[in-house]
Amino acid sequence: MKKKNTILKSFCLLLVSLFFLPAISFGSPATYQITEAELTQLEQSLIQQENYLVEALRLLDEQNLELSELREHLEIALSEVQESKAEIQRLRQELEKALESIEKANQLFREYEKEVKRTQSRLTGQRNLYLFLGLAAVGYGAVK
C-alpha cells in the first residue's frame, strides 16, 4: 500500500512538472533593436557617466589627501594639548610651592612682628623705669 502511494505521488509530480515545462524557455535570449540615434544617445550617456566617475574619483582622491592632512594636523594639535597639560601641571606645582613659600614668609614675618613688639615693650618699660629712677634721683637730690 505504501509503495503504491509513493508511486502515485511520483507520477503526479511528473505530470505537474511536465505541465510547467513549456513555461521554462530553453531558447536563445531575446534580441532587441535600437536606432542609430538611440545608440548615439546611449554612447553619449555612457561617456558622460564615465566623465562623472572620473571626476568623482578625482574628488575622492583630493578629499582623501585633505583627510590625511587634517589627521596629521589633529595629531599635532593633540600632541600640543598634551604638552600644554603637562606644562600647566608643572606650573601649578610651581605655584603651589611659591604659595607655600609665601605662607612661610608671612608666618616668619608675623613672628618677627611679635618679637619686635616684645622688644619695643621691653625697651619702653626700661625707658620708663630709667625715667622714673632719674626723676626720683632728681627729686631726692632736690629734697636734700
**pLDDT digits 0-9 by tens, 28-72:** 667 888 899 999 999 999 999 999 999 999 999 999 999 999 999
Total count of domains within the chain = 1
- Which DSSP symbol is given to 27? S
Mean predicted confidence (pLDDT) in 100-125:
96
100 assigned to some structural domain:
yes
The angle at the Cα of 96, spanning 95 to 101, to the nearest 5 degrees, equals 95
Structural domain that includes position 54: 47-117
CA–CA distance, 104 with 119 (Å, rounded to integer) = 22
Q: Which amino acid is at 53?
A: L
Mean predicted confidence (pLDDT) in 89-101:
98
82 assigned to some structural domain:
yes
Helix (H, G, I), strand (E, B) or coil at 100: helix
- Residues with Cβ < 8 Å from 42, sequence gap 6 or more? 34
Q: Which amino acid is at 135?
A: L
109 assigned to some structural domain:
yes
123 assigned to some structural domain:
no
37 assigned to some structural domain:
no
Beta strands in 25-122 (DSSP E): none
41 assigned to some structural domain:
no
The gap from C-alpha 9 to its chain's centroid, in whole angstroms, comes to 71
CA–CA distance, 144 with 140 (Å, rounded to integer) = 6
2 assigned to some structural domain:
no
| Banded model confidence at residue 78, pLDDT cuts 50, 70, 90 | very high
22 assigned to some structural domain:
no
